[in-house]
Amino acid sequence: MAKKALIIEDDANIAELLRLYLEKDGFTVAQAAQGDKGLELFESFSPDIILLDIMLPVMDGWKVCAEIRKTSKVPIIMLTAKSETFDKVTGLELGADDYVTKPFEVKELLARIHAVLRRTEEPSAPESKRLEFPGLIINLDSYELVVNGKKVDTPPKELELLYHLASTPNRVYTRNQLLDEVWGFDYFGDSRTVDVHIKRLREKLEGASDAWSLKTVWGVGYKFEVAES
């Protein structure tokens, strides 16, 4: 069955170009030029992936992304003419899976689309993705973070980053390794994205337990450190 792609983009030329390439690549495509119309199509069309512009009329892409993430983990790739780190980090923190700055090469975008879809497809026999430490449960099956018995709202990428670090305790990862292994592609943006996610995770985990911690290894990167028994 053909994958379905939803394009939410107010630039008619870009939207049409994307539609042509996606249909040529075997996708069934729906389009919207306004954020609110894109949300309506999301509900009725049930896409497998969304290409979402940030600067949209009526409702901007950030708001659309936030609304979608309330009910769905459908992959979202943000499209924008802006290139500032703040805009990239904002989109990723809201739960976007990738971020592409205009102008872009369509072949590169298609490669990213397929990479995101491979990363998010359900395996035929999924293994449990639940980690438990004193005062901490990281559950990727339900995308829940539980700290000292209380659920803590956490954007998907933050939770995936924490799970990745905690799944191999005491291993040190560089920022570029984390961007590549958690985001699943050779990230072309600023590696400070990782620093922002780590900072927010530390705020959520502060004081939970002395048995583990998110540690900075200066000059190298980060690790999930577990104290020796």
Q: Kindly report, residue by residue over 22-75, the tens digit of the pLDDT.
A: 999 999 999 999 999 999 999 999 999 999 998 899 999 889 999 999 899 899
Q: Is 118 helix (H, G, I), strand (E, B) or coil?
A: helix
Put simply, whether the predicted model's pTM sits higher than 0.75 gets the answer no
Measured N-to-C along each axis, helices 85-93 and 192-205 cross at an angle, to the nearest 10 degrees, of 40
Q: Where in the chain is the domain with CATH 1.10.10.10?
A: 130-226
- The token duo for 40 is 């309506």
Q: Where in the chain is the domain with CATH 3.40.50.2300?
A: 4-120
> 62 with 39: CB under 8 angstroms?
no
Indicate the CATH number for domain 4-120: 3.40.50.2300
Q: Kindly report, residue by residue over 97-109, the tens digit of the pLDDT.
A: 888 888 888 888 8
- Flag the least confident range among 1-15, 176-190, 192-206: 176-190
**What does the pLDDT read at residue 191?**
67
**What does the pLDDT read at residue 219?**
87
Indicate the CATH number for domain 130-226: 1.10.10.10
- The token duo for 121 is 């497809």
Give me the DSSP letters along 28-95: EEEEESSHHHHHHHHHHH--SEEEEESS-SSS-HHHHHHHHHTT----EEEEES---HHHHHHHHHTT
